Structure 1
Amino acid sequence: MSIFNIITILIILSAVFAFINARLLRLPFTIGLMVIAIVFTVIITVLGHFQPYVLDEAKVLIQSIDFETVLLDMMLSFLLFAGALHTKVDALSRQRGPIALFATIGIVISTFLIGTLMYYLFMAFSYPIDYIYCLLFGALISPTDPIAVLGILKDANAPKKLETKIVGESLFNDGVGVVVFIVLFKIAQAGIDSMTVGDITLLFVTEVVGGVALGLISGWVAFLCMRMINHYETEVLITLALVMGITGIALYLHVSAPLAVVVAGLFLGYKGPVIAWSENTHLYVEKFWELIDVLLNAVLFVFIGLELLIVSMNERYLMYGLLAIPITLVVRYLALSGPIALFKNKLDFIPKTALMMTWGGIRGGISIALALSLESGMQRELFLTITYVIVVFSIIGQGLTIGPLVKRVLKKYT
């Protein structure tokens, strides 16, 4: 099937599902699309028992799309840039201490705690898995997905102080989480004895520092170009070229593209409206990236729902997925509690911040994409199924209840 036909089918399905959600379900946009996509997938599966051709063609469509490459190397940069561009840097700066710890130390702690607990969970059921593969799972499931978080928090009416922490953490822990996953993946490929602590540290620092540096330099160049002209069509084109250029250069230099586009988006969103953009340019840049955000979010969450077609329905795998849900939630709470306690007296935290950040930390497409990138010898099918179970619960279960939870907690403490 050609790329054009694949894109056409996904866009048509996204439009149809969005219409059904807006007309009938009226769920939050991203959640509604994924729920309808899952229901659609179940219907296709049932029809496949009577007419195998239908199910076979649907599987061919899904399997013909390299979800890992499409999301991590293409869609992710656009979505992160759109999110960063609309994030208030002033509010983010005031919370930079806890956000930095959430997105770095928190991710590392979460990776090792989840990996260790999953390792012993498998041992308890007499299903031993190599520890390094359990750590890989810990790395891919630890980052909260900024794509999911941004969309859901808009509908939850969360307080700005809480939203800033969750969104800021999600924007950065995504990039750090991918870097941690890459480091562990290379260790798993090469063997733990073949890489020294120095090699691991160098790889991690290169990815992170290189990504931040690339984002700052690229954002500054784009800012200077936009400052010298007043032509909104060209300036919108510059932002598009910026994201695509950063992604290509980051892949070539082996630095973190997610961190680079987040830094560039934050820089341009902070400096552009004040110094470089006219009111007309600001309007068009903002609306263009809102449209990109909505379109790609629609396709992404429809695709997550359709991924059910290729996820193993092994009963043991599903059981491990259900058991992993409380593990990931408890570990996230523990990983957040340290930074929150450290900054509690310095910053104004709303009540039960750790609880609400734990429940508001939605897992999404990034975790599925990383699980799909595992090699077959790394227990790919097992961890893909577990990841899918957690992501579906996170987006639907947590996504639909984070708003009521926030309201209930705030009402209790006001």
Structure 2
Amino acid sequence: MSIFDIIAVLIFFSGVFLFINTFYLKLPSSIGLTILALILSLLVFIFGLLFPEFHLAEQIKKYDFADVLYRFVLSVMLFAGALNVDFKKLGDQLIPVLVLSFFGVIISTVVIATLIYFTAGFIGVSLSYIAALVFGALISSTDPVAITKTIQRFRMSNELETKISGEALLNGGIAIVLALVLVNIYREGIANDSLSLSSTAWVLTRDLAGGVVAGLVFGWIGYKLLQYIDNDDVEVEVLVTLALVMGGSYVADLFSVSSMMVAVTTGLILGNFGRDELGESAVGAYVYRFWQLMEDTLAAMLFVLIGFEMLVIPLRLDYFSLGFFAVNFALFARWISVFIPIRLMSRKRSFDSGTITVLSWGALRGGLPVAVSLSLTDFPGQELIVTMTYVVVVCTVLYQGLTLTSVMKLYGANVR
């Protein structure tokens, strides 16, 4: 099987899963896809035992998806997420959303990493603190699609709905960029045989500041180009935005800056300067729908892929035990990362009752953590990180996703 055959298989199952979930299960997409991915994993495992020569999971394991995931999937998903962030729509909720997104990710990363690091040592699993930080950052990323579609089913105040949806859109990009910057810091230390404060500061400046500058340039160029294109020429607008994402990734590699930061910044520029009060201006409405479709499709593929990947990861009890610890650590860290900023901001701002609980319990994980964990080729502890990511994503999506309705009703949010 070639890599194109593998991708075709993933697309096929993604389409079948979405069809089954939409017309039969009728669950939120993240929950339905997770359930179907688990069933698929079990069926493929049984099929592989009966017919070893056709073990599909083993075929997939032969291919290195790191380049595809890193250079295409992550860039596309982060750009699509950033494109949907409308700072004007956030209004007076902009500051709380920014504080919750940025400082929340930092707090969550440190809390998860510290708890995982000491727990791993306690149960005898080898895990460096930098690897724990990488896992803490990537698993702090929440799924904006799942969260947004869930809250749309309930009646709640505009302020709370704006906080939830805005924080979810920004959270993913910040968490994933932080995780990949931490990976680059580790690799810089390996290359130089040591990791000094100056080299760490240089990597942070190069990746983040360089990525922002490159993203601003690409965003401005894209905005100017789209101003000259009629919104009815949808194929031209779509191709221009695709060229911006792919070109940004290529330029980022040339100058050794964060391609993820380039994608996020470019998306933010187009998503805010490219629309007016009616929702479109330089960027046509079809472009937003196209990138939403791309994000949803890739997220579905990632759930299918991780289902296959888990079939060939060593079934080590200590890895899965640490994964179940990570489920609780992630939920606790999310609560802390929401509780501290809101308590500090509540001195000057008012927050709805239940904001902390709803934001904490509604933090469903999705495709982005999966993509990052699978792209960490040659990173120490990758199999452990993939295992923990799988356990956390599955448990949080199923347990929190299926009980979120009860939590929302508890705090007075009625079903529409």
- Mapped pair 1:61 → 2:60: yes
For the pair 1:112 / 2:118, whether they are aligned, the reply is no
Q: CA deviation at 1:394?
A: 1.8
1:7 aligns with 2:41: no
* 1:16 Cα offset (Å): 1.6
SS in 2 for 1:194: coil
How far the C-alpha of 1:389 sits from its partner, in A, is 0.5
Residue 44 in structure 1 maps to residue 44 in structure 2: yes
Cα distance in 1, alignment partners of residues 222 and 118 from structure 2: 50
2:31 aligns with: 31
SS state at 1:309 partner: coil
Distance apart, 1:148 and its partner CA: 5.0
Partners of 2:412 and 2:224 in 1: how far apart? Answer: 44
Q: Residues 297 and 153 from structure 1, CA distance in 2 versus in 1: closer, same or farther, beyond 3 angstroms?
A: farther
Separation in structure 1 between the aligned mates of residue 96 and residue 269 of structure 2, nearest angstrom: 20
Say if 1:251 and 1:154 are closer, same or farther in 2 by CA, change over 3 A. farther
Deviation at 1:203, TM superposition (A): 1.6
How large is the RMSD of aligned CA atoms in angstroms? 3.1
Aligned match of 1:214: 214
Question: Aligned partners of 2:263, 2:206: CA distance in 1, in Å?
Answer: 16
Distance 1:286 1:320, change over 3 A: closer
Equivalent residue number for residue 335 of structure 2: 333
Q: Partners in 2 of 1:53 and 1:398 — Cα distance? A: 38
The alpha-carbon distance between structure 1 residues 187 and 271, as it changes in their structure 2 partners (threshold 3 A), is closer
The aligned counterpart of 2:352 is: 350
Shift of 1:244: 1.9
Q: Compared with structure 1, are the counterparts of its residues 238 and 159 closer, same or farther at alpha carbon in structure 2 (3 Å cutoff)?
A: farther
Whether the aligned pair in 2 keeps the contact of 1:145 and 1:364 (CA below 8 Å) is yes
Per the alignment, residue 198 of structure 1 pairs with 198
| Unaligned segments of structure 2, at least 5 residues | none
Kindly indicate whether the alpha-carbon contact (under 8 Å) linking 1:227 and 1:275 is maintained by their aligned counterparts in 2: no
Q: Secondary structure at the match of 1:410?
A: coil
Tell whether the 8 Å contact from 2:105 to 2:175 is kept in structure 1 after alignment: yes
Deviation string for 1:123-176 (max 9, x for gaps)? 333445433333333233233344654555556777653444344334444343
How far apart, CA to CA, are the structure 1 residues paired with 2:186 and 2:358? 34
* Residue identity in the other structure for 2:262: A
Asked whether the 8 Å contact 1:211–1:255 carries over to 2, the reply is yes
8 A Cα contact 1:146 1:174, kept in partner: yes
- Name the residue aligned to 2:239: 237
Matches within 5 A, 1:142-153: 142-146=140-144, 148-150=146-148, 153=151
TM-score by length of 2: 0.86
Measure how far apart 1:408 and its partner are: 2.3
Contact 1:219 1:264 in 2 (8 A): yes
Equivalent residues of 1:157, 1:403 under 8 A apart: no
| Contact 1:162–1:357 (Cα < 8 Å) also in 2 | no
* 1:390 CA displacement: 0.6
> What are structure 1's unaligned runs of at least 5 residues?
none
Q: State the Cα distance separating 1:343 from its structure 2 match.
A: 1.7
The change in CA–CA distance for 1:404 and 1:259 in structure 2 (over 3 A counts) is: farther
Describe the shift of the 1:71–1:349 C-alpha distance in structure 2 as closer, same or farther (beyond 3 A): farther
- CA positional deviation for 1:238: 1.7
Give the percent of matched residue pairs that are identical in Structure 1 and Structure 2: 36
- Give the equivalent residue in structure 2 for 1:287: 289
Shift of 1:351: 1.7
Contact 1:147/1:297 (8 A) holds in 2: no
C-alpha distance in 1 between matches for 2:151 and 2:277: 30
Q: Mark the CA change 1:119 to 1:291 in structure 2 (over 3 Å): closer, same or farther.
A: closer
Shift of 1:263: 2.9
* Deviation (angstroms), 1:62: 4.6
The more displaced of 186-195 and 132-141 is 186-195
Aligned residues: 410
Q: 1:368-379 residue pairs with structure 2 within 5 A? A: 368-374=370-376, 378-379=380-381
- Which residue in 2 is equivalent to 1:141? 139
Cα distance in structure 2, aligned partners of 1:206 and 1:135:
20
Aligned to 1:263: 265
- Between the aligned partners of 2:171 and 2:199, the Cα distance in structure 1 is 22
State the distance in 2 between where 1:301 and 1:270 align. 30
In the superposition, relative to structure 1, how do residues 53 and 150 fare at CA in structure 2: closer, same or farther (>3 Å)? farther
